[in-house]
Amino acid sequence: MIKFNSSLSPFAFLYGLAVWIRNRLFDRKLLPAERFPVPVICVGNIAAGGTGKTPHIEYLVRLLQPRCKVAVLSRGYKRKTSGFLLADFKSSSEAIGDEPAQLIRKFPNLLLAVDADRRRGIRNLLALPEAQRPEVILLDDGFQHRYVTPSLSVILTDYSRRYCHDRLLPVGRLREPTFELRRADIVIVTKCPPALQPIDFRILETEAIFFAHQQLFFTEIAYGNLHPVFPQAAPSRTLEQIKPDEDLLLFSAIAAPRPFTEKITGHARKAVCVSFPDHSPFGKQEFHKLKTLFDSMPSPSKLLVTTEKDAARLINNPRLPKEWKSRLYVLPVTVRFCRESQPAFDSLILKHIETYRQTITQHKQS
């Protein structure tokens, strides 16, 4: 059940009015938007909070990297730097943000940049030497950044908090009214329960607010084996290898920790779950709480398990106790398309890239 704070409705009205005016200024070209000579695929949402953008960006990277030079451009939320910055494997989460740090560790050869000004960020990427210059750019969480006109917009909505049941900030979590979804080309309902039946999908299709030109897909979370955050200190292990007498401390600082904790607790008899606010810095207070809980656990084979995004903040954290390195694990996440729709989605993305390239080539020749 989604809870709303209806007492804030007047503020939601004013917020919605401001968003409507801003969008109309862009629609009427009174505010400038720029289109670029390479495919720019935006992956975003219209709701605040976790909808699974990073796993879907990772999916697109895996799809495109073998086929073309792909770059990811992110805002780098909560980073301690500013301006345009190219990331590398050594980049810290403080320098580039949590999600970009997670991406660059998974894909060390990925061209990844951060810039709050997405238009400037794309210009800088396209100004790189030809050997580095991207052929496709994935724009992370850029749906509201209207100074860039993407060639394709993919919108995500969490199954448990679908936008059709949500309300505008600050009453609900919507950043924009649902009719602004007309700018999207693809809508993906994410984090679907694995037990959904055909009738459930038909109901979802009926209630979804989408337009005739849009394609609708459904994805679910797929979890991998437990991986050590420090591979040299501990082996990988499956969830089934968690022993009945092992104490587990699960901790996270993400917007929607419930699927993560439910997956682990389904395999562990003795688990304690700690959730911090999204993007918490893992400073003195957080470590004090975690260490107190972990030290109180009696099992000699106790483990700590966290998310991939949180692990990116822990790898170079000087407060991390050395003795935790052999006990700290991460639960990897990928996405799986429901109803065997992955080939259709892949084809849609690849066809768009090919068509857009042809259009740009014809435009240059005319």
Beta strand segments in the chain, E: 40-44, 70-74, 85-86, 111-114, 136-140, 152-158, 186-190, 215-223, 227-228, 247-252, 270-275, 303-306, 328-330, 333-337
Kindly state the tokens that stand for 260.
């993560």
Local structure of residue 174 (DSSP, 8 states): B
Cβ atoms within 10 A of the Cβ of 144, count?
Answer: 15
Q: Rounded to whole angstroms, what are the CA distances from 334 to 57, 145, 203, 207?
A: 10, 26, 25, 26
| pLDDT of amino acid 11 | 97
What are the strands, taking DSSP E only, across 253-314?
270-275, 303-306
What are 176-195's pLDDT values in tens digits? 999 999 999 999 999 999 88
Residue 207: pLDDT over 70: yes
> From CA 225, how far away is CA 236, in angstroms rounded?
7
Place of tokens 């959730």: 275
Beta strands at 215-223 and 186-190: parallel, antiparallel or unpaired: parallel
Give the tens place of pLDDT for each residue, 23-73.
999 999 999 999 999 999 999 999 988 789 999 999 999 999 999 999 999
Please state, in angstroms and rounded to a whole number, the distance separating the CA atoms of residues 212 and 189: 17
Distance CA 73, CA 146 (A): 15
| Arithmetic mean of pLDDT over the chain | 94
Residue 347 in 3-state DSSP?
helix
Rounded to an integer, what distance in angstroms lies between the CA atom of residue 317 and that of residue 163?
Answer: 36
Q: What is the pLDDT of residue 35?
A: 97
CA atoms within 13 A of residue 118's CA, in its CB half-sphere: 27
Annotate 98-111 with b (16+ C-beta within 10 A) or e (fewer).
bbbbbbbbebeebb
